[in-house]
Amino acid sequence: MSKNFDVIVIGGGPGGYIAAIRAAQLGFATACIDEWKNDKGGPAPGGTCTNVGCIPSKALLQSSEHYEHAAKHFAEHGIGLKSLSIDVAKMVARKDQVVKQNNDGILYLFKKNKVSFFHGRGSFVKAVDGGWEIAVGEDVLTAKQVVVATGSSARALPGLPFDEDKILSNDGALRIGAVPKKLGVIGAGVIGLEMGSVWRRLGAEVQVLEALPAFLGAADEQIAKEAQKAFAKQGLKVELGVKIGEIKTGAKGVSVAYADAKGAEKTLDVDKLIVSIGRVPNTTGLNAEAVGLKLDERGAIVVDDECRTNLPGVWAVGDVVRGPMLAHKAEEEGVAVAERIAGQHGHVDFGLIPWVLYTSPEIAWVGKTEQQLKAEGRAYKAGTFPFLANGRARALGDTTGMVKFLADATTDEILGVHIVGPMASELIAEACVAMAFKASSEDIARICHAHPSLAESVKEAALAVDKRTLNF
Ligand SMILES: Cc1cc2nc3c(=O)[nH]c(=O)nc-3n(C[C@H](O)[C@H](O)[C@H](O)COP(=O)(O)OP(=O)(O)OC[C@H]3O[C@@H](n4cnc5c(N)ncnc54)[C@H](O)[C@@H]3O)c2cc1C
């Protein structure tokens, strides 16, 4: 079958499915091709994010957080439990159900917006008639505009492929059938810390090994230190500055030889090992070489600031291009590209993409860190407010962490907001809005925030920039 469209999107993750919906909203005849299969071989749009990333990890983080609350914090509230157990199979089945609801939701959105969905691998055939021919299974589709949103996959250690039994990628880490006694994690990035947290909360002894000397180097140093202290208190062991040596798998588990930061030779013996050392862009199967689609040395598709590739009418968004590998970054690029195709001025502000770690405490930030401002030589003022002094946090029973504001020393414009503590993932949205409107810290300090709320800590941190907190 041959079909003509205005826009073809290859990949149905957050970058691709959102680009397809926006293109259809703008009146384009749009197709979205995605190859992800569910357990029955049927379509499962939503990409890494929906199937083995953001959504399932948050489902397991929620379940394990409930368990930890019941085990460690219910008693403070006077709630007694005769016994507590965890049915891992049921927890994983619930996670699978959440994933399915999201897959089905995207298929519904395609129908609602009249996006034609094709299940299979999309690959470039050739340039035709000022556009492109794309093959998917038996079908050949054509369109003037093609958006590539093929995402990324977990990077394996050299010579150590994922078997998803003992050596786990994010996929296997989300499917562990029983709480391991000992779990190793290589890589203390977002994924390693989130997955490590899930299984630690359920009772695994978790040890994280990280090659870099600094903990969460991309985060504000003060915030990273606070988080590291909290993780250590919980028993999540993180060893920095290590050099990984030979890794052996056997009937009993996995043995990781490594040198610690001081060069001492050590061995970590674990039942399972999660390897979370980064992700590689997905371009195999696209037939990129045949049409001359330019890739960089990492295998990412080369794009300009507006997501244009070197080929006319071919765009690329999300994890398959430069920039942070985050679902909301992919979505923003998808929307912007659809709008640019329509001749509008789609825009993504790369300086205002929030980062979140859904650990406990949660960590979230937007804008510049203190170390970045120092390196730039920019004069700034800082203000912090601890959750310890927030009434809602006390009532919740979670007073870990703080909110930190960084503002320009002269103009008071907010340059960065950093949060470690309860609901940081939700609180950061206020900072994003404020910074998008170029607000000053005084703007936030003068806005009425509901009492009692965690958001009052955001206001108080803004007040702290001018050294006039009211509750601390
Ligand atoms: C464990 C984990 C947790 C995460 N948590 C978060 C989080 O909390 N917040 C956040 O912002 N980000 C998170 N991420 C990152 C996030 O998942 C990615 O940044 C996001 O999914 C990228 O979206 P994308 O559309 O570019 O690609 P993907 O989501 O990878 O989607 C690409 C899709 O294209 C399909 N595809 C590839 N090649 C072809 C082809 N030739 N033809 C047809 N289909 C093809 C793939 O099968 C896939 O379905 C997490 C990632 C992991 C692994």
Ligand 1 centre to CA of 326 (Å) is 8
Which pLDDT does position 47 carry in this prediction? 98
Q: What is the pLDDT along the chain (472 residues), one digit of tens a residue?
A: 569 999 999 999 999 999 999 999 999 999 999 999 999 999 999 999 999 999 999 999 999 999 999 999 999 999 999 999 999 999 999 999 999 999 999 999 999 999 999 999 999 999 998 899 999 999 999 999 999 999 999 999 999 999 999 999 999 999 999 999 999 999 999 999 999 999 999 999 999 999 999 999 999 999 999 999 999 999 899 999 999 999 999 998 999 999 999 999 999 999 999 999 999 999 999 999 999 999 999 999 999 999 999 999 999 999 999 999 999 999 999 999 999 999 999 999 999 999 999 999 999 999 999 999 999 999 999 999 999 999 999 999 999 999 999 999 999 999 999 999 999 999 999 999 999 999 999 999 999 999 999 999 999 999 999 999 999 9
- Active-site annotation holds for 451: yes
Known binding-site residues for FAD equal 58, 122, 150-152, 319, 325-328
Partner residues linked to 323 by β-bridges: none
Protein residues with CB under 6 Å of any ligand 1 atom: 10-16, 33-36, 47-49, 52-54, 57, 121-123, 149-152, 170, 191, 282, 285-286, 318-320, 325-328, 330, 358
What residue type is assigned to position 61 of the chain? L
What interhelical angle do 14-25 and 88-112 show, nearest 10? 20
| 3-state secondary structure (DSSP) of residue 354 | coil
Question: Nearest to residue 125, comparing CAs of 10, 34, 281, 6?
Answer: 10
**Helix or strand (DSSP H, E) at 231:** helix 221-234
Q: CA 28, CA 115: separation in Å to the nearest integer? A: 9
Could you tell me the sign of the dihedral formed by the alpha carbons of 296, 299, 300, 301, in that order?
positive
Question: Which domains are present in the chain?
Answer: 2-153+280-350 (3.50.50.60), 167-277 (3.50.50.60), 361-465 (3.30.390.30)
- The number of beta carbons lying within 10 Å of the beta carbon of residue 438 is 10
Q: CA 141, CA 105: separation in Å to the nearest integer? A: 25
Which pLDDT does position 368 carry in this prediction? 98
Ligand 1 centre to CA of 333 (Å) is 14
Which pLDDT does position 2 carry in this prediction? 63
Ligand 1 atom with the shortest distance to the CA of 170: 1
Question: Nearest to residue 173, comparing CAs of 182, 181, 183?
Answer: 183
Ligand 1 atom with the shortest distance to the CA of 195: 1
Q: Are 371 and 406 in contact (CB under 8 A)?
A: no
Ligand 1 centre to CA of 287 (Å) is 20
Going by alpha carbons, the residue nearest to atom 19 of ligand 1 is: 326
Going by alpha carbons, the residue nearest to atom 2 of ligand 1 is: 53
Could you tell me the sign of the dihedral formed by the alpha carbons of 271, 202, 174, 398, in that order?
negative
Question: Nearest to residue 46, comparing CAs of 107, 112, 134?
Answer: 107
Q: Which positions ≥6 away from 285 have C-beta within 8 Å?
A: 35, 121, 123
Question: Nearest to residue 47, comparing CAs of 102, 3, 95?
Answer: 102
Ligand 1 centre to CA of 62 (Å) is 21
Going by alpha carbons, the residue nearest to atom 52 of ligand 1 is: 53
Question: Nearest to residue 468, comparing CAs of 450, 437, 448, 442?
Answer: 442
Backbone angles phi, psi at 356, to 5 degrees: -140, 140
Q: CA 157, CA 248: separation in Å to the nearest integer? A: 12
Known binding-site residues for NAD(+) equal 187-194, 210, 278
Question: Nearest to residue 462, comparing CAs of 383, 381, 352?
Answer: 383
- Kindly tell me the burial class for residue 356, based on how many C-beta atoms sit within 10 Å of its own C-beta (0-12, 13-18, 19 or more): buried
Burial string for 366-378 (b: 16+ CB within 10 Å, else e) reads: bbbbbeebeeeee
Ligand 1 centre to CA of 415 (Å) is 29
Q: Are 338 and 26 in contact (CB under 8 A)?
A: yes
Ligand 1 centre to CA of 343 (Å) is 27
Which pLDDT does position 130 carry in this prediction? 87
Going by alpha carbons, the residue nearest to atom 44 of ligand 1 is: 34
Q: Which residue has the tokens 């197709």?
A: 31
Which pLDDT does position 129 carry in this prediction? 85
What interhelical angle do 424-436 and 455-465 show, nearest 10? 50
The preferred substitution site among 49, 118, 333, 348 for testing ligand 1, maximizing ligand atoms within 8 Å of CB, is 49
Which pLDDT does position 1 carry in this prediction? 59
Q: Are 144 and 131 in contact (CB under 8 A)?
A: yes
**Residue of 66, 73, 347, 451 marked catalytic:** 451
Known binding-site residues equal 58, 122, 150-152, 187-194, 210, 278, 319, 325-328
What interhelical angle do 54-68 and 88-112 show, nearest 10? 140
Going by alpha carbons, the residue nearest to atom 34 of ligand 1 is: 11
| 3-state secondary structure (DSSP) of residue 224 | helix
Tokens of 276: 């979370």
| 3-state secondary structure (DSSP) of residue 251 | coil
Ligand 1 atom with the shortest distance to the CA of 36: 47
Q: CA 347, CA 54: separation in Å to the nearest integer? A: 24
